[in-house]
Amino acid sequence: DVKVTQSSRYLVKRTGEKVFLECVQDMDHENMFWYRQDPGLGLRLIYFSYDVKMKEKGDIPEGYSVSREKKERFSLILESASTNQTSMYLCASSSRPAEAFFGQGTRLTVV
């Protein structure tokens, strides 16, 4: 079974903290994605990566950065967390152009 694992299911951080969300996939997929899910807004793409050290901005990259040093791992970084970044974060991976496999999501609360 394909597995996409996100490091935390729930996370609470303080305003101004640097936050790392980690995602690991075990299927040697080229593509990895970070989405943010908010009620009524669906899944909005933050960043995606199509290869190691390669990345492309999605629709809402402001306030976020990413890192992909190894093929299996894709990290989302909130440089200075703010309350408007409280959300559900979903990681996914895919092998073009097949289906995307998703992690369980991380519900992040910034207080």
Partner 1 sequence: AQTVTQSQPEMSVQEAETVTLSCTYDTSESNYYLFWYKQPPSRQMILVIRQEAYKQQNATENRFSVNFQKAAKSFSLKISDSQLGDTAMYFCAFIPSYNTDKLIFGTGTRLQVFP
Nearest to 89 by CA among 44, 25, 36: 36
* Alpha-carbon distances of 93 from 54, 79, 84, 85, rounded to whole Å: 14, 23, 26, 22
Q: Closest separation between CB of residue 33 and partner 1, Å?
A: 6
Q: Does 43 bind partner 1 (CB under 8 A)?
A: yes
Q: Is 60 helix (H, G, I), strand (E, B) or coil?
A: coil
Binding mask 91-110 for partner 1 (x = CB under 8 A): -x-x-xx-xx-x-xx-----
Residues in contact with partner 1 by the rule CB under 8 A: 30-31, 33, 35, 40-45, 48, 50, 56, 58, 88, 90, 92, 94, 96-97, 99-100, 102, 104-105
